[in-house]
Structure 1
Amino acid sequence: MPLMTFEAAIADSATFAKRHLLLGNGFSIACCADIFHYGSLFAQADFSSCPEVKSVFTLLGTEDFEATIRALENAALILPAYVPDGAGAITKMQVHSIALKEILIQTIAGNHPAVPPEIDDTKFWACRAFLSHFLATGGQVFTLNYDLLLYWTLMHDDNPFRDPINLAKNDGFGNDEDDPDAEYVVWQGEVGAHDARVHFLHGALHLFDSGSELKKYTWVRKGVPLVEQAREAIDKNAYPLFVAEGTSAQKKAKIRHNAYLYQGFKQFTANARIGSHCFFIFGHSLAANDDHILTRMARGKFRKLYVGIYGDPASVDNQRIMNRANELAEQRQEKSPLDVQFYDAATAQVWG
């Protein structure tokens, strides 16, 4: 069957009380494919600290960081069954899996656009129009991306030649009550963040866990570009809050051990349980390493899921995505059926 247009999907979803959005890496790739595609990150990554890891990518035939992290962690688990005296190799694999997560963070920070003006205004205006279907109508946006593009879009001025778009931007952060003039804002906790509408489910480049609190770096407070602030912190071995674990179970475990991440996860789950709501997915491959998120959709009660498909629907990758989406519907209980519709992601014109 032909794919729906995004416009038709939005019109079709008008019967629901709220529509929510789940963003995957395709959201960022659509804006800056030369930066945020895994292949681009792999080409820019510095593996000098653990050169063997580059060979692991080659042996696996992939440039996917998460898949390689997962392979290293799984190999460390099963190696004792085959090499009883392989303790040294096991330790090295475990060390390298941790190092690879840091390489990923450093590579994203090192190649990220430095400031919003590096991206054309028309792209931000188009993205704000896209997000308005969710954040201007009572819905919420959940992103699995680490970069700053969503945050920059929310902070960007509207097109001066059109009516302004009232996007809800609350992400649960506010002034530190002990230091209201600090150069950063802090997460307000579960109660204070209850009304948050934007959730970075896997962390982000501008979120740093200081131990006692979760800080969000801002440009307006410090006058220093966010990417520069992140690079400075990384140079001092302070890493942003990232969930780059290999498997879904490992990701879920890390989420459960961080109050901010767990609150976002609970918000996603809570909305998935409301029958009068619907969800859109854009730029996500529905891969198994995000099953901790996807199974919440399968176990939910919302009635309709709109999944963006980019390119030829008959391609191997798109057929896998469509089959996976239909599997989520098949897992539903009979009293809460899930209708899955596929739309042409290109027609959303997310970045113009």
Structure 2
Amino acid sequence: MKLENFKDVRDSIEKNQSRAFHLLLGNGFSMAYDPNIFSYNALHDFVTKLDDKDLSIILDVIKTQNFEVIMQHLDNFSALIAAFEGDLGLRKRVDKASVNLKSSLLNAVKALHPEHVFEVPEEKSKACSRFLKRFLDSGGNIFSTNYDLLLYWVLMRNSVVNHVDGCGRELENPDEFVPPEEQEWSELIWGKNRDAQNVFYVHGALPFFDTGTAVTKEEYDGYNNLLENISGRMAKGEYPIFVTAGDGQQKLSHIKHNEYLTFCYENLCNAEGSLVTFGFNFGKYDEHIIKAINRAAKHGRKVKDKLWSIYIGVYSDSDKEHIEQIEDKFKCKVHIFDAKTARVWG
């Protein structure tokens, strides 16, 4: 397959102005900002330093920095213990280690994260906002599988016009006649503006919490920065919406059990036009994303309103070879472009 560059993608957007171009971001988006913070190696190093005997044993035995692989091994081991009617105590220990690994991963993301929005250099933030705005201006959506705050920060700091994450406030004393200054408003609740939503965190993200009755979004409150407020909630045992299951089917199951995640996923399944991916490698644990893309492409049927093509950003020859090997999994036209030429962060 021909290796295109991002100029070819831009030219396609300009040429097809009646078509929406959507953007799918993977971990490579965050790694392009700072690989020392957001790589699997950095997360792995953080978790290995925790004082958890079982996690230390597991990480020493399973020689990988890919947490999805580790979680899959733990799930399989637990299932085997049950199938062979093995020691119940051992199975509980394995299951507890799996839970601890997931919470430790989230703690690692939080701990390694830049402290506040202004730690991101302004020139990087502006460059990224220009990259993102191109897709929203085409009428497309932004889908992210990342947990961190980078996307949220860039959109908010640069006041990117027309980005909507579906959240809003509700009047809590609507039955009372009170002047505007005495009206009581809720915290940010997802759903109020979902009909106009065009930014979707398909695997959840640090600011989003499921209270059991609503999905709320944490925010800067004038006293503490956003990450401090998120940390405060986590210290009380509240954890953000966060998909950490092992394989694609398990991830999809997690998604389907949460109203917000389901809404995000279904919007990806219903995308029309073209999709551009950046930092997403379509590994063996991403089958649920390929499934969504093929649903959007109407499984290749000759119909009008569907996803026609996908532009996949790759960083290396091995990345390119991988996409070439799985090209037939996609039921739409596949293009490959050199992700480095996108210069997302300037």
What is the TM-score of this pair, normalised by structure 2? 0.88
Residue 31 of structure 1 pairs with residue 33 of structure 2: yes
> Which amino acid in the other structure matches residue 77 of structure 1?
A
Q: Distance in 2 between matches of 1:255 and 1:211?
A: 15
SS at match of 2:131: helix
Q: Which residue of 2 is the match for residue 73 of structure 1?
A: 75
Q: In structure 2, do the counterparts of structure 1 residues 10 and 240 end up closer, same or farther at CA, with 3 Å as the change threshold? A: same
Residue 125 of structure 1 pairs with residue 119 of structure 2: no
> Structure 2 matches for 1:146-185, cutoff 5 A?
146-157=147-158, 167-178=161-172, 184-185=187-188
Q: Which residue of 2 is the match for residue 163 of structure 1?
A: none
> Which amino acid in the other structure matches residue 257 of structure 2?
H
Are the counterparts in 2 of residues 309 and 345 from structure 1 also a CA contact under 8 Å?
A: yes
Q: Which residue of 2 is the match for residue 265 of structure 1?
A: 265
Q: Which residue of 1 is the match for residue 180 of structure 2?
A: none
Are the counterparts in 1 of residues 171 and 185 from structure 2 also a CA contact under 8 Å?
A: no
Q: In structure 2, do the counterparts of structure 1 residues 46 and 177 end up closer, same or farther at CA, with 3 Å as the change threshold? A: farther
Q: Distance in 2 between matches of 1:209 and 1:139?
A: 27
Q: Which residue of 2 is the match for residue 309 of structure 1?
A: 314
Q: Which residue of 2 is the match for residue 100 of structure 1?
A: 101
Q: Which residue of 2 is the match for residue 59 of structure 1?
A: 61
Q: Deviations over 1:232-282 (max 9, x none)?
A: 1111111111111112122111211111111111111111xx3xx000111
> Which amino acid in the other structure matches residue 186 of structure 1?
I
> Structure 2 matches for 1:76-91, cutoff 5 A?
76-82=78-84, 84-91=85-92
Q: Which residue of 2 is the match for residue 249 of structure 1?
A: 249
Q: Distance in 1 between matches of 2:168 and 2:23?
A: 23
Are the counterparts in 2 of residues 308 and 343 from structure 1 also a CA contact under 8 Å?
A: yes
Are the counterparts in 1 of residues 21 and 274 from structure 2 also a CA contact under 8 Å?
A: yes
Q: Distance in 2 between matches of 1:256 and 1:144?
A: 15
Residue 344 of structure 1 pairs with residue 338 of structure 2: yes
Q: Distance in 2 between matches of 1:51 and 1:284?
A: 33
- Structure 1 counterpart of 2:278, from 277, 282, 290: 282
Alpha-carbon shift at residue 182 of structure 1 (Å): 5.3
Q: Which residue of 2 is the match for residue 198 of structure 1?
A: 199
Alpha-carbon shift at residue 305 of structure 1 (Å): 0.7
Are the counterparts in 2 of residues 19 and 139 from structure 1 also a CA contact under 8 Å?
A: yes
What is the TM-score of this pair, normalised by structure 1? 0.87
Q: Which residue of 1 is the match for residue 300 of structure 2?
A: none
Q: Distance in 2 between matches of 1:298 and 1:269?
A: 8
Structure 1 stretch 295-304 or stretch 262-271: which is displaced more?
Answer: 295-304
Q: Which residue of 2 is the match for residue 135 of structure 1?
A: 136
Q: Distance in 1 between matches of 2:324 and 2:55?
A: 32
SS at match of 1:17: coil
Are the counterparts in 1 of residues 170 and 186 from structure 2 also a CA contact under 8 Å?
A: no
Q: Which residue of 2 is the match for residue 162 of structure 1?
A: none
SS at match of 2:22: strand
Q: In structure 2, do the counterparts of structure 1 residues 177 and 70 end up closer, same or farther at CA, with 3 Å as the change threshold? A: farther
Are the counterparts in 2 of residues 183 and 222 from structure 1 also a CA contact under 8 Å?
A: no
Q: Which residue of 2 is the match for residue 298 of structure 1?
A: 294
The percentage of counterpart residues that share the same residue type is: 30
Are the counterparts in 1 of residues 172 and 184 from structure 2 also a CA contact under 8 Å?
A: no
Structure 1 stretch 6-15 or stretch 122-131: which is displaced more?
Answer: 6-15
Q: Distance in 1 between matches of 2:102 and 2:224?
A: 25
Q: Distance in 2 between matches of 1:40 and 1:182?
A: 40
- Cα RMSD (Å): 1.9
Q: Which residue of 1 is the match for residue 191 of structure 2?
A: 188
Alpha-carbon shift at residue 40 of structure 1 (Å): 0.4
Q: Deviations over 1:185-205 (max 9, x none)?
A: 11125xx40210100111111
Gaps of 5+ in 1: 159-165, 333-337
SS at match of 2:138: coil
Q: In structure 2, do the counterparts of structure 1 residues 347 and 209 end up closer, same or farther at CA, with 3 Å as the change threshold? A: same
Q: Distance in 1 between matches of 2:110 and 2:256?
A: 25
Alpha-carbon shift at residue 222 of structure 1 (Å): 4.1
Alpha-carbon shift at residue 169 of structure 1 (Å): 1.4
Q: In structure 2, do the counterparts of structure 1 residues 81 and 175 end up closer, same or farther at CA, with 3 Å as the change threshold? A: closer
> Structure 2 matches for 1:191-230, cutoff 5 A?
192-219=193-220, 221-230=221-230
Alpha-carbon shift at residue 211 of structure 1 (Å): 1.5
Alpha-carbon shift at residue 65 of structure 1 (Å): 1.6
SS at match of 1:22: strand
SS at match of 1:194: helix
